């Protein structure tokens, strides 16, 4: 590959990553307890799809989901735990939202940088080895916290990101409403009834247990996806 073309692809990849970091931060401020976790997951999968296209790589949704789960399961579980802060009346919804927003952006940034590094070195989505790249993901996750904080203050970057639309996010099973990065929407306060709060906390507890079972190898990826959908749909 010629150097100018390689540089152009790298720049395009950086734009894709930056936009999805901003969108993920908006998803992290969704005032619904569980929605933010799966909105972020859907956006991360869309980012991988776009990075594959930028590098002329075939995209496999099954493989993409497996990689996202493998690399981000622990951080997204922590993201879910942080979402509990949103249940605190008053300031809890603000402080919790801000914390989750940065956390979601950092996770998306790290995932994007891992794929960019892999594709830049000539890899494909089919030979992606999550275990080999977990350390790099963690390093970029720490850097991603700073990147997300800076982007949160960068109005120009947010405006540029809103000129694009994440592909197929609303069509996923987990996310029924497409999240956006528009600050005016994410700051809207939505009061939850005590029943809604209790239900949200119960669902989150079940999801955390499910993540732990998968991490321990107690259930397969197929079982994980099936049970996850049942929990979200209130069937468990």
Show Cβ contacts of residue 175 under 8 Å, excluding neighbours closer than 6 positions: 35, 38, 39, 42, 169
How does pLDDT run along the chain (236 residues), one tens digit per residue? 556 677 888 899 999 999 999 888 876 555 544 456 677 888 889 999 999 999 999 998 888 888 888 887 666 555 554 444 444 444 344 334 446 778 888 989 999 999 999 999 999 988 999 888 889 999 999 999 899 888 878 877 667 666 545 544 443 333 333 333 333 443 444 444 556 555 555 666 676 676 666 666 777 777 777 777 676 666 66
Place of tokens 């890899």: 123
Place of tokens 């995209």: 59
Contact yes or no for 77/208 (Cβ under 8 A)? yes
Give the count of beta carbons closer than 10 Å to the beta carbon of residue 167. Answer: 13
Nearest one of 74, 64, 59 to 42, comparing CA atoms: 64
Contact yes or no for 26/180 (Cβ under 8 A)? yes
Q: Provide the whole-model pTM.
A: 0.62
- Enter the tokens of residue 23: 């969108």
CA distance 111 to 53: 16
């Amino acid at each position: 590959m010629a150097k100018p073309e390689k540089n152009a692809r790298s720049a395009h990849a950086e734009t894709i990553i930056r936009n999805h970091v901003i969108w993920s931060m908006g998803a992290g401020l969704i005032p619904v307890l569980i929605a933010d976790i799966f909105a972020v997951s859907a956006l991360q999968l869309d980012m991988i799809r776009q990075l594959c296209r930028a590098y002329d790589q075939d995209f496999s949704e099954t493989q993409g989901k497996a990689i996202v789960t493998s690399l981000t399961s622990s951080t997204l579980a922590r993201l879910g735990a942080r979402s509990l802060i949103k249940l605190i009346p008053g300031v809890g919804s603000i402080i919790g939202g801000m914390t989750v927003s940065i956390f979601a952006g950092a996770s998306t940034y790290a995932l994007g940088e891992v794929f960019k590094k892999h594709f830049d070195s000539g890899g494909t989505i089919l030979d992606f080895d999550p275990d080999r790249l977990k350390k790099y993901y963690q390093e970029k996750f720490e850097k991603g916290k700073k990147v997300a904080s800076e982007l949160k203050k960068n109005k120009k970057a947010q405006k540029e990101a809103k000129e694009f639309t994440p592909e197929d996010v609303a069509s996923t099973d987990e996310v029924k409403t497409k999240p956006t990065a528009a600050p005016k929407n994410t700051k809207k306060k939505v009061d939850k009834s005590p029943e809604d709060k209790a239900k949200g906390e119960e669902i989150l507890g079940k999801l955390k247990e499910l993540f732990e079972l998968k991490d321990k190898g107690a259930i397969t990826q197929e079982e994980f996806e099936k049970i996850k959908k049942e929990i979200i749909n209130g069937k468990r």
